[in-house]
């Protein structure tokens, strides 16, 4: 078969396309940071949220945006339900029972970012990692425990916002 040289051209175009997307991503991130830094309250919230293990800039942005600066959603339980990390039981009468599952109506993008935060948190040296390892060693399903870590991250984010104090890792204090 004759080599047309199309693969080299497609590779070159793909690299240019990826570089353009990367440039746009950086520009969007800079704009988000600029918006947060202009408002002192949002800047303080972002600082507090990022003190929680596993929470980085993207998760802090998502939490601030979804809660509208913690004014629209003020209860961590409601945020956990919205994010799809709370399992609901399904029961009909006395005979039909299925194991609890998370809602299919959850905000999947928030759940995905929380999942990445939870994965990061269990890699760091903190109480969430200790919790994760203890529950897995007890024989619990890893995804169930990871879902619990997501829920704990949400509750910790709301706690630092409510108390207006940076998160203190209990493992570092001991």
Q: Tell which wins on pLDDT, 8 or 113.
A: 113
User: Which pLDDT belongs to residue 64?
Assistant: 96
Asked whether the predicted pLDDT for residue 110 surpasses 70, the reply is yes
Q: Are 92 and 86 in contact (CB under 8 A)?
A: no
The percentage of the chain sitting over the pLDDT mark of 90, rounded to a whole number, equals 77
Q: What is the mean pLDDT of residues 11-37?
A: 95
User: Which pLDDT belongs to residue 7?
Assistant: 87
Q: Tell which wins on pLDDT, 119 or 88.
A: 119
The H or E element that residue 83 is part of is helix 76-83
CA atoms within 13 A on the CB side of 78: 8
Q: Are 9 and 122 in contact (CB under 8 A)?
A: no
Q: What is the mean pLDDT of residues 121-135?
A: 93
pLDDT-derived band at 174 (thresholds 50, 70, 90) equals very low
Asked whether the predicted pLDDT for residue 171 surpasses 80, the reply is no
User: Which pLDDT belongs to residue 146?
Assistant: 95
Q: Tell which wins on pLDDT, 51 or 1.
A: 51
| Residue 49: how many other CB atoms lie within 10 Å | 26
Rounded Cα–Cα distance for residues 113 and 7 (Å): 35
Q: Are 55 and 155 in contact (CB under 8 A)?
A: no
Lowest mean pLDDT among 22-36, 76-90, 144-158: 76-90
pLDDT tens digits, 55-85: 999 999 999 999 999 999 999 999 999 999 9
Q: Which residues contact 66 (CB under 8 A, 6 or more apart)?
A: 72, 73, 79, 82, 107, 110
Asked whether the predicted pLDDT for residue 93 surpasses 90, the reply is no
Q: Tell which wins on pLDDT, 129 or 5.
A: 129
Q: Which residues contact 158 (CB under 8 A, 6 or more apart)?
A: 70, 74, 75, 76, 79
pTM of the predicted protein model: 0.85
């Amino acid at each position: 078969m004759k080599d047309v040289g199309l693969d080299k051209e497609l590779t070159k175009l793909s690299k240019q396309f990826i570089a353009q997307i990367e440039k746009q991503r950086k520009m969007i991130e800079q704009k988000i940071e600029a918006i947060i830094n202009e408002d002192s309250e949002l800047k303080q919230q972002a600082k507090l949220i990022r003190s929680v293990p596993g929470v980085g800039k993207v998760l802090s942005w998502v939490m601030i945006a979804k809660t509208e600066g913690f004014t629209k959603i003020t209860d961590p339980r409601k945020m956990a339900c919205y994010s799809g990390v709370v399992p609901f039981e399904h029961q009909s009468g006395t005979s039909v029972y299925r194991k609890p599952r998370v809602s299919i109506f959850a905000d999947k993008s928030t759940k995905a970012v929380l999942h990445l935060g939870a994965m990061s948190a269990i890699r760091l040296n903190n109480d969430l990692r200790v919790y994760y390892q203890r529950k897995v060693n007890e024989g619990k399903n890893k995804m169930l425990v990871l879902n619990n870590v997501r829920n704990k991250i949400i509750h910790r984010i709301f706690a630092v916002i409510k108390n207006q104090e940076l998160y203190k890792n209990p493992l570092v204090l001991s």
